[in-house]
């Protein structure tokens, strides 16, 4: 039995995801997780992925669960937002054990053949030492020979969605307003979400350079196996072995201990 940690009342990621939980699936409805996972798994298999247990960190409402359950994986999920976990339990019941936990203070839930943190989870780590603590916690949950996968947003995404464009985007009925004027490595970027059914709130993320990520992995005793650039092409996803911050939307990292 894992006791839920106590979070600071103002933890930015927790506040943001508590607010967006009621509309999260609708707000992010364009994200095709079946397609994404179908693209990511072959890349992991190139590096010896063994089917078994998955620890899904920052699982939110569990949109990655169904594609992995139907592939025969046993899943444990965790998220720092109780509201997100309520929604995930309503959809999946006892099929996936769920725990309240932060990537910054990750408990040991067991040994997993795959540990992942998908869709900006790492970018919500804001403090200087958060990456090292997060990667150390991930390593402690990794089975021998297991693999780690996480993504990080590129400067291209932040300049178009969080800053410099200084614009307002409509996502369905909701308003996404960028609040950041300049994006540089290590900078905090902000965007405000408002609209029906959701309390107006701010998402804060940190743009990490590849050098910062590599250094934190090394400190945590993890090996970066490969970094891949990901971009959207003709309704699908294209992966490149040479990531380009000016072209790609995300960089996918595969690691091992």
Distance CA 181, CA 187 (A): 11
pLDDT tens-digit readout, 92-145: 999 999 999 999 999 999 999 999 999 999 999 999 899 999 999 999 999 999
How many angstroms separate the most distant Cα atoms in the chain? 47
Q: Determine, yes or no, domain membership for 188.
A: no
Which pLDDT belongs to residue 165? 52
Say how many domains are in the chain: 1
Instruction: Give the CATH number, domain containing residue 47.
Output: 3.40.50.150
User: What SS3 state is found at 181?
Assistant: coil
Which pLDDT belongs to residue 179? 87
Q: What are residue 237's DSSP bridge partners?
A: 232
* H-state helical runs in 172-248: 210-219
Q: Determine, yes or no, domain membership for 172.
A: no
Q: Determine, yes or no, domain membership for 241.
A: yes
Q: Which residues contact 46 (CB under 8 A, 6 or more apart)?
A: none
The domain in which residue 99 lies consists of: 12-153+209-256
Quick check: 141 and 161 in contact, CB under 8 A? Answer: no
- The model's pTM is 0.93
Choose among 116, 99, 127, 257: nearest CA to 188: 127
Q: Determine, yes or no, domain membership for 101.
A: yes
Tell me which H or E stretch contains 227.
Answer: strand 223-233
pLDDT tens-digit readout, 143-178: 999 999 999 999 988 888 776 555 788 888 999 988
Q: Determine, yes or no, domain membership for 199.
A: no
Which pLDDT belongs to residue 164? 54
Mean pLDDT on 174-201 = 89
Q: Determine, yes or no, domain membership for 203.
A: no
Q: Determine, yes or no, domain membership for 194.
A: no
Q: What are residue 177's DSSP bridge partners?
A: 168, 192
Q: Determine, yes or no, domain membership for 196.
A: no
Which pLDDT belongs to residue 43? 97
Distance CA 180, CA 159 (A): 9
């Amino acid at each position: 039995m894992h006791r839920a940690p106590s979070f600071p009342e103002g933890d930015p990621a927790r506040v943001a995801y508590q607010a967006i939980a009621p509309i999260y699936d609708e707000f992010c409805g364009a994200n095709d997780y079946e397609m994404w996972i179908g693209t990511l798994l072959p890349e992991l298999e190139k590096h010896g992925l063994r089917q078994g247990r998955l620890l899904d960190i920052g699982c939110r409402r569990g949109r990655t669960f169904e594609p992995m359950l139907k592939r025969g994986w046993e899943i444990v999920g965790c998220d720092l937002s109780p509201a997100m976990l309520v929604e995930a339990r309503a959809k999946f019941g006892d099929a996936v054990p769920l725990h309240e936990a932060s990537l910054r203070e990750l408990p040991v839930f067991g040994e997993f053949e795959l540990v992942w943190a998908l869709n900006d989870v790492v970018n919500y780590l804001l403090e200087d030492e958060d990456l090292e603590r997060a990667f150390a916690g991930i390593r402690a949950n990794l089975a021998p020979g297991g693999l780690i996968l996480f993504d990080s947003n590129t400067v291209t995404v932040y300049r178009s969605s969080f800053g410099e464009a200084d614009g307002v985007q409509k996502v369905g009925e909701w308003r996404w307003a960028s609040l950041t004027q300049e994006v540089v490595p290590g900078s905090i970027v902000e965007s405000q979400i408002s609209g029906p059914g959701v309390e107006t709130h701010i998402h804060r993320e940190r743009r990490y350079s590849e050098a910062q990520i590599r250094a934190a992995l090394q400190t945590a005793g993890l090996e970066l196996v490969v970094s891949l650039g990901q971009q959207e092409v003709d309704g699908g996803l294209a992966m490149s072995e040479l990531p380009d911050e000016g072209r790609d939307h995300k960089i996918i990292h595969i690691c091992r201990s």
